[in-house]
Amino acid sequence: MANRISVIAPSRIHFGLFGGKNRTGVSYGGIGAMVSEPGLHLVLSESEEYEYVGKQSNRIQRFAETWMEFAELRSEKPFRIELLASPQSHIGLGTGTQLGLSVAAALFQFYFDEVPSVERLSQSVQRGQRSAVGTYGFMHGGFIVDRGKTDGDKLAKIDMHLPIPTDWRFVLIKADANAGKSGLEEESVFQDTTSDKNKLRAELIEMANAKIVPSLLNEDFNSFSNAVYEFGRTSGQYFAEVQGGPFNGPRITEMVRLIRELGTAGAGQTSWGPTVYAILESQTDANQLVGHLSQHLMPNETIQIAKPADDGARVMIESTTVKSKAKTF
């Protein structure tokens, strides 16, 4: 049994969904990518009592209690979980999923000396209810195509995961806009299954299969970046009535427009925002874009450069018998 476990997980950029709830077929699905920054880092260690330390401690406790119930475990061996680093919640980077899966991975390793399948991991903390991009991204990293789920699926099927060229970069701007939708508000949006919106599904799937995946396989940056923008803008039309257009509000719309005017084709919002992404071919190009955009940021907006995360989360283990070892999914 491990005495101390560290989990380092990437963040998720969601380029868009194939659609919402579909009662007669496949629901949700979509595409996204994992990035190393801003990453999540938590540490679980033995303790004399249950402790949850750091930002989002209440949320960590809920995940841990959900996991304990799932595992049917009433242990006399308490633990301490400390969150050392994490992005904010509800800014479009999939923090809730990465946090929940990190807690689950640490607890499985702590009590059972293993990390199980992604399906069991997600079920143990009730993640992956709709999109599974971040769930599979936690395990695999890279670019994820989530096929979607039927009513009988607990977790959507993964279609593929592909590496992203290591030189490519993502510039992430946290715009001065409302936090992304979550909880019951988000669920109500996904329940809208009007037929005119469902017609977008075939178009978006074709776009992913015929443009985005081939361009990534060929490392064709220009085709990939243009196709990702087109995909995000088209997918955003599915929620146009809620967002006021393909992007969530005027500031995000303005930021995407500015990025493209500066010569970067691949831009959009991740999930509901307010984080905006731009895709660059190199660190030099990313640095130049940051320099230009910094002149246009509002006082409370932030910007950073992120590398692709082509590995999944890392679980690092220390025990009295094994000084240290690491697992990468």
pLDDT tens profile 164-210:
999 999 999 999 987 655 555 555 555 654 546 667 899 999 999 99
pLDDT at 280: 98
Domain segments of the chain as ranges: 4-328
CATH of 4-328, one of 3.40.50.11540, 3.30.230.120, 3.40.50.800, 3.30.465.10: 3.30.230.120
Q: Which tokens is 26 given?
A: 């496949």
Query: How many residues are present in the chain?
Result: 329
Tell me the mean pLDDT in the region 148-155.
90
Q: What is the DSSP letter of 109?
A: H
Q: Is the distance from CB of 19 to CB of 199 less than 8 angstroms?
A: no
Q: Is the distance from CB of 111 to CB of 79 less than 8 angstroms?
A: no
Instruction: Write out pLDDT tens, residues 238-277.
Output: 888 888 899 999 999 999 999 999 999 999 999 999 999 9
pTM: 0.92
Q: Is the distance from CB of 42 to CB of 103 less than 8 angstroms?
A: yes
Q: Which tokens is 28 given?
A: 């949700």
Instruction: Please give the distance of CA 113 from its chain centroid, rounded to a whole number.
Output: 26
In angstroms, the Cα distances linking 116 to 53, 212, 289, 316 are 25, 31, 41, 15
Give the Cβ contact number of residue 303 at 10 Å. Answer: 17
Distance CA 224, CA 11 (A): 20
Res. 323: pLDDT tops 50: no
Q: Which amino acid is at 186?
A: E
Cis peptide before 38 (omega within 30 of 0): yes
